[in-house]
Structure 1
Amino acid sequence: MNPTLTSPDAPTSPDATQAQRILSHLPLFQSATPAQLATLASHVTQHRLDKGALLFQRGDAATGFFIVVYGQIKLFMLSPQGQEKVVEIIHPSQSLGEAVMFLGKPYPVSAEALQDALLLRLERSAVDALLDTDPGFARRMLAGLSLKLHSLLKDVDTYSQRSSTQRVIGYFLQQCEEVPDAEPVALDLPVAKQVIASRLNLTPESLSRSLAELSRAGLIEVQGRTIVIASLQRLREHTP
């Protein structure tokens, strides 16, 4: 069953200079001019969430989109039986809600803070105005939406074609994409194992069995939230 969740603090208007500085460091707005950033900042609200607070619930109206400044946001759905399915984990500098915003439809998922978080919410009217005047911004927005679609298709392929252990290996390798092939590699899991299991469409028990299998094979060592990978190359080549 899903735990009782708290509500976020009331949104506030951030300092304009601070908002412009935050926006300027986000990939989506890197080429925006100071004037464009100032206009965007005037349409931004700031949302602080404690761990466990809901940002929005499935069915809420989507009239803007969010950018994570710090913290992590879990997008999830609940089955009629109350079982939670994690759809995606949103990390700092990533955005959420833009596709639904453009469709003019309510959110199809709920969003919960996995840790204390700060987000900026940008009104659709400001986004539409920038899309009309900045082709570069439009291309980056399309690229971001395309990447999310590609990620969704990869998830479908993973869930339908790969075993539980293959999914776990794929997750570890994805988390280590920018890590040199040093031996060993200590991977600090960014979220709880239960969240990872749901994200991979596994039960916690299936995840535990896969971790035990990889441990017996000498490929990993589980130390709480840290996974010590003996060799990334051996992990890539492992066939469960």
Structure 2
Amino acid sequence: MIPLEILEKYDAVRRLYKKSEVIFDKDKLATHYYQIISGVVKMNNFNDEDREFIQGFFYAKHCFGEPPLFLNRTYPANAEAIEDSELICISKTNFLKLISENPSVSIMMIENLAQRLHYKSVMAAEISTQDSEHRLLQLFDYSIAYFNFKKEEDGYHIDLTRQQMGDLTGLRVETVIRTIKTLEKKGELKIVNRKVYR
């Protein structure tokens, strides 16, 4: 995303987060821009029944949690490291200064936000109108493109747990497992050593 040397010119700070450590909580005022150097971060919400809904996963070179910085609003979700992660963060004031002084970075940010908005629109339509097979295939295909999953001998490895697949699509884990088996029978994907390949 934003080159580290540019971030460092605007007093960015590197921080280490342990697995399961919370980076920020839902409803807290957004104060920093975060970008991942290494590791994985998830953003999530919980409903009244304490069921988790995952908004997304973010990997090395991805940023997360920045939309509220432009709106002076609170975070709409929690952010948590799902493995030991190194992040670089910059204060809101310095981030907005960086954006205004670097037009090429502004364009990158707009493209990134547009990509996420597109994903949310596609998945919202899938969750509300489509069956489980269609939802999972849409998630897999989008994940291959957006997360740059690498093609292996058996296809693209969908590096998500069954629980994560369910949380991203609004499906129960049992439904995810059944649907994956059905899709394998139809030749839409492969299962090799419990790993899913598209």
Once the two structures are aligned, what percentage of the paired residues are identical?
A: 18
Decide which moves more: 46-55 or 67-76. Answer: 46-55
Say whether 1:98 aligns with 2:63: no
State yes or no: 1:206 paired with 2:175. yes
| Structure 2, gaps ≥5 residues long | none
Show the counterpart of 1:19. Answer: none
Kindly indicate whether the alpha-carbon contact (under 8 Å) linking 2:149 and 2:158 is maintained by their aligned counterparts in 1: no
* 1:9 counterpart residue number: none
Change in Cα spacing, 1:53 to 1:169, as seen in structure 2 (3 Å) is same
Distance 1:118 1:78 in 2: 25
Note the aligned Cα RMSD (angstroms).
2.5
Q: State the SS of the aligned residue for 1:28.
A: coil
* Pair 112,83 (structure 1): closer, same or farther in 2 beyond 3 Å: same
- CA deviations 1:162-213 (Å, max 9, x no partner) are 211112122333344468999x624433232201210111110110110121
1:51, distance to aligned residue in structure 2 (A): 1.5
The counterpart of 1:190, out of the listed 141, 159, 163, is 159
* Matching residue's letter, 2:137: I
Question: What per-residue deviation string (whole Å, max 9, x for no partner) do you get for residues 14-50 of structure 1?
Answer: xxxxxxxxxxxxx3348xxx6x55522xx21222122
TM-score by length of 2: 0.86
State how far apart, in whole Å, the 1-side matches of 2:87 and 2:188 are.
38
Q: Which has the higher contact order (CA 8 A, sep 6+)?
A: 2
The alpha-carbon distance between structure 1 residues 129 and 228, as it changes in their structure 2 partners (threshold 3 A), is closer
Larger radius of gyration: 1
What residue number does 2:185 align with? Answer: 216
The answer to whether the 8 Å contact 2:39/2:85 transfers is: yes
Aligned AA for 1:90? Answer: F
Q: 2:196 aligns with which of 224, 227, 233?
A: 227
CA gap of 1:181–1:68, structure 2 versus 1, over 3 A, is: closer
In 1, are the aligned partners of 2:163 and 2:173 still within 8 Å (CA)?
Answer: yes
Alpha-carbon distance between aligned partners in 2 of 1:53 and 1:38, rounded to the nearest angstrom? 24
* TM-aligned CA deviation for residue 155 of structure 1: 1.3
Q: How far apart in 1 are the matches of 2:182 and 2:27?
A: 40
Please state whether the residue corresponding to 1:67 is helix, strand or coil.
Answer: strand
2:125 counterpart (149, 157, 164): 157
User: Secondary structure of the equivalent of 1:47?
Assistant: strand
Mark the CA change 1:217 to 1:96 in structure 2 (over 3 Å): closer, same or farther. same
Aligned length: 196
Cross-structure match for 1:3:
none
Report SS of the residue matched to 1:198. Answer: helix
* C-alpha contact (below 8 Å) 1:29/1:137 kept by paired residues: no
* TM-score normalised to structure 1 length: 0.72
Q: 1:28 corresponds to which residue?
A: 2
Aligned match of 2:23: 55
Distance 1:92 1:180 in 2: 14
Contact in 1 for aligned 2:42/2:57 (Cα 8 Å): yes
CA contact (8 A) 2:189 2:196 kept: yes
String of CA shifts for 1:115-155, please: whole Å, max 9, x gaps: 11111111111122223322222222222222221121111
Which of 95, 104, 111 does residue 136 from structure 1 map onto? 104
Shift of 1:102: 1.4
Equivalent in 75, 78, 83 of residue 51 of structure 2: 83
The reply on whether 1:170 has 2:138 as its aligned counterpart is yes
